[in-house]
Structure 1
Amino acid sequence: MTTTPRILIIAGGLTHERDVSVRSGRRVANVLHQAGHEVRVCDLDASLLPTLEEWSPDVVWPLVHGSIGEDGSLQALLESLGVPFVGSHSVQAMMASNKPTAKGLLASAGVSTPAWLSLPQSLFRQLGATAVLQALDPRLTFPVVVKPTDGGSALGISRADGTEALRSAMVDAFAYGERVMIEQFVGGTEIAVSILDLEDGPAPLPPIEIVTDDGSYNYDARYTTDTTQYFVPARLDAALTSAVTQAAVQVHQVLGLRHLSRIDFIVDSEGSVWFIDANVAPGMTDTSLFPQAAEAAGSFADTCRRIVAFAASGR
């Protein structure tokens, strides 16, 4: 193996998050190319397997967001081919990317997470949407957050303050998958903690506070508007900073993640830290949170170099 590994970045794919994935792939490719690496970007299509065979990269960095990019499918393929790659193993990626599964594992480990209920679209078709929604009222109190059980970039996520809004929110969420999760809304400050897990084990990067005009960090707020404010590091006191970063490391370890992750929380008005989501393939665009945290810790470019070098070693 050369001292500077040849890197194949997989980006794109036929997911709802294709555009974000392509932008992530291009940015990481540019950073690594400028660092002297030989880098190729390949779409998740029929060209992938021939490229892997013909070019024989030292390490692959999957940057496909959502569905098969994060649910363990792509990771399982790379494992079967014996190709070193950046990110978590297939089983761990599958568990982390499924929101109810991740929440269940973490709740069992003592991590605080809002109450939730996960339902398939088939249940609504068989029992009737009105009957099911009426039965849900005692389980969770409004407001609630409705989201697809899989996927990222906040696609299909909305808040519902009543039954009619809940019905509409579930229709929106079902557009992105066959199963939705209804989660108790917890008000507070949105905090994202990126984890870098290399030679010395998992370590948190500076936490980021996200502030939006309407308090909704949805897809538009993340990628298509300039109204979102990011505070790096987050405006938390020392005790809360310690609490949220320790919680992020715990989540990363309980879920068995590898190399890097981004863990999202809400810190409520009483200072309680609530786990919301775990991301096994964090976005790497100009407005994405992992690059901002890496830059605040020193250098995003250096972080990328360290990640690919460590992953190329097969660890």
Structure 2
Amino acid sequence: MKIAVLYGGTSGEREVSLSTGKGIIQALENKGHEVTAVDFSPDRLDQVTALDVDLVFIGLHGRFGEDGRIQGLLDMKGLPYVGSGVLASALAMDKAKSKQIFSLNGLNTAESAAFDVTDESQWSSIEHDIKQQFQVPFVIKPNQEGSTLGLTIVKDEADAGRAVKTAAQSDSMILVEDYVKGREVTVPVMGRRGEEKALPVIEIIPKNDYYDFDSKYQPGGSEHIVPAELPADITAKLQEDAVRAHQLLGCDVYSRVDFIINDKNEPVILEVNTLPGMTPTSLFPDAAQEIGLSYDDLIQSFVDLSQPAYEKKV
């Protein structure tokens, strides 16, 4: 097939996306596909609109890639692509909205509240409201950002104002939520609509206090245990909740769902990643490897799962 890979982008996760794109491109070429590589920028949309390919593989992360915008452009051009559509992408990227959907459907979430930080003159008032509603420790982060960029775990109320300012640099909305201490795990999900399956649960043991940007992307920043050493009932619950979250948002082909297992051994859902890191050493490929699916075969399986969209086009 003729496949375009969009990677790079302009978000704070550009470097990760460059690595993801390189891995995807190599895997597709290894499988015999004709690949067009596009280092995407919103300033060069003609690179996308002029594409003459059978399928687009989105290897972007963060804004303009994971939030539904590039998906909308591809939809308008009639170009089929791998992964979730506009609505699912936008919902997953909007942490406040997705948490509402999860909570309304019985999934366990941390208590949270969203605040509009567009008007800097209101930050002091917002800081006051946060202190009234939450007890330390709590988390302040951008509502729409990935890779824990702009996130602060507030352990002292005096640091709340600085945390608001940090998060506001990345987004016009911030999310404040109770800090849930526990074991960090993630569950990859893949499959056709209504037939999704969860891959093995991965436990993440970061070298820092929590799974921050450096833990995710620096060599030796974290340890991945696949499969996670958990009781069978907890594993089953995590996999069931992951598939449920994927379906509730209307995700397609694949996603990765992040959880914390709290001190009561209850999974607390954090977020759904519709375009998780896909470097050869990323979490999703780690889980695939555990069930005998090589990196190249995993990438090919995403293409195969996207065939209905391609067939509809032709």
Read off the aligned partner of 2:46 and give its amino acid letter: L
SS at match of 1:122: coil
1:80 aligns with 2:95: no
1:96 to 72, 92, 108: 92
1:312 aligns with 2:287: no
Read off the aligned partner of 1:127 and give its amino acid letter: Q
* Unmatched 5+ stretches in structure 1: none
- Residue in structure 2 matched with residue 49 of structure 1 by the alignment: 46
- Residue in structure 1 matched with residue 13 of structure 2 by the alignment: 17
1:115-264 aligned within 5 A: 115-122=111-118, 125-129=120-124, 131-198=125-192, 201-264=195-258
Q: Cα gap change, 1:214/1:39 in structure 2, threshold over 3 Å: closer, same or farther?
A: same
Shift of 1:48: 5.1
1:35 aligns with 2:31: yes
Q: Deviations over 1:29-84 (max 9, x none)?
A: 1111111111121021355534653x511110111110111111100001111111
Shift of 1:178: 1.6
TM-score under structure 2 normalisation?
0.93
Contact 1:85 1:312 in 2 (8 A): no
Contact 1:223 1:287 in 2 (8 A): no
Which structure 1 residue ranges, 4+ long, deviate > 6 Å from structure 2?
Answer: none
Contact 1:259 1:311 in 2 (8 A): yes
Shift of 1:134: 2.5
What is the distance in 2 between the residues matched to 1:59 and 1:85?
5
What is the distance in 2 between the residues matched to 1:44 and 1:24?
13
SS at match of 2:80: coil
What is the distance in 2 between the residues matched to 1:93 and 1:110?
21
Shift of 1:249: 0.5
Q: Which of 212-221 and 189-198 deviates more?
A: 212-221
Read off the aligned partner of 2:111 and give its amino acid letter: A
Shift of 1:200: 7.0
Q: Cα gap change, 1:79/1:147 in structure 2, threshold over 3 Å: closer, same or farther?
A: same
Contact 1:12 1:44 in 2 (8 A): yes
What is the distance in 2 between the residues matched to 1:181 and 1:98?
10
Q: Once the two structures are aligned, what percentage of the paired residues are identical?
A: 30
1:276 aligns with 2:270: yes
Shift of 1:309: 2.3
Shift of 1:114: 0.1
Q: Cα gap change, 1:142/1:310 in structure 2, threshold over 3 Å: closer, same or farther?
A: same
The number of aligned residues is 308
* Unmatched 5+ stretches in structure 2: none
1:291 to 273, 278, 285: 285
Contact 1:65 1:151 in 2 (8 A): no
What is the distance in 2 between the residues matched to 1:70 and 1:120?
21
Q: Deviations over 1:236-294 (max 9, x none)?
A: 11111001010100100111100000100001121111010111111112442111112
What is the distance in 2 between the residues matched to 1:169 and 1:50?
38
TM-score under structure 1 normalisation?
0.93
Shift of 1:128: 4.7
What is the distance in 2 between the residues matched to 1:168 and 1:27?
37
